[in-house]
Amino acid sequence: EIVMTQSPATLSVSPGEGATLSCRASQSVSSNLAWYQQKPGQAPRLLIYAASTRATGIPARFSGSGSGTEFSLTISSLQSEDSAIYYCQQYNNWPSMYTFGQGTKLEIK
Amino acid sequence: EVQLLESGGGLIQPGGSLRLSCAASGFGFSAYAMSWVRQAPGEGLEWVSVISNNGVRTYDADSVKGRFTISRDNSKNTLYLQMNSLRAEDTAVYYCVKHLGAVASPGDYWGRGTLVTVSS
């Protein structure tokens, strides 16, 4: 099983600043990595897939990078609406399992 | 507009069974893989089961293997999850998820979820 580890667990940033969230895979997942945003009481929303491709309707403030085992999600010009938990997910090691990271809670202070 | 509407959740005793349904609309249901993903209260996301677009291939997480069965009826645009031998640790919100394409792709649309509570 591929283990996905996200860091930091919590990140507190001021509005207008940028933030970088990290995700590490226990073995290579190539570029088969997605990022999701989940706000309280809501379902997750796909932000990024194939490590760096923005999903439909996602603003350019969100960008993804990386390949192999190291990935990052960068959010620029943070807004209060960006407060959420962000999850990475690998979909390379199928059919055995798609695994999610434990999440990074982003707070806009 | 893509819509995924889950139903069938509720309170069930340990050892019991439930069948979740997901009514899909707004896209060509038969062209896409579908999954169930769950989230225990206050916890992260856990993928449960996936099914290919034609229903031929299915795969389950080890935690539910042999107890849960995913299926689909493309004529009714509906996804199902039959859950047997339920345990307390199966308590979670269950999300119906449309894949971006085939099974080896992320979920691009998620339903609002249905809560399953396993308790005596």
Mean pLDDT of the residues in chain A:
95
Q: Which residues pair with B60 in a beta bridge?
A: B49
Confidence band for B104, pLDDT divided at 50, 70 and 90: confident
pLDDT at B103 over 90: no
Average pLDDT over residues B5-33: 97
DSSP one-letter string for B18-72: EEEEEEEESS-GGGS-EEEEEE-TT--EEEEEEE-TTSS-EEE-TTTTTTEEEEE
The pLDDT of residue B101 is 84
Cβ contacts of A55 on chain B, cutoff 8 Å: 108
Residue range B54-83, pLDDT digits in tens = 999 999 999 999 999 999 999 999 999 999
Using a CB–CB cutoff of 8 Å, tell me whether A80 touches chain B: no
φ, ψ of residue B90 in degrees (nearest 5):
-85, -5
Longest dimension (CA), chain A: 41
Distances (CA, A) of A62 to A29, A36, A54, A83, B100: 21, 11, 8, 13, 19
Positions in chain A short of pLDDT 50:
none
Q: Is A49–B95 a contact, with Cβ atoms under 8 angstroms apart?
A: no
Q: Which of A46, A92, A95 is nearest residue B107 as measured by Cβ atoms?
A: A46
The pLDDT of residue A96 is 59
Give the position of tokens 């009481």.
Answer: A41
Mean pLDDT of the residues in chain B:
96
The pLDDT of residue A47 is 98
* Burial of B104: CB neighbours in 10 Å, binned 0-12, 13-18, 19+: middle
Cβ contacts of B1 on chain A, cutoff 8 Å: none
**Secondary-structure percent of chain A, ordered helix, strand, coil, rounded to 5:** 5, 50, 50
Identify the residue among B50, B100, B114 best suited for mutation to test binding to A, counting A beta carbons within 10 A and taking the highest.
B100
Q: How far apart are CA B8 and CA A18, in angstroms?
A: 42
The pLDDT of residue A93 is 67
Tell me the residue type at A95: P
Residue B91 CA, distance from chain mean position: 13
Q: Is B105–A45 a contact, with Cβ atoms under 8 angstroms apart?
A: no
Cβ contacts of B44 on chain A, cutoff 8 Å: 87, 100-103
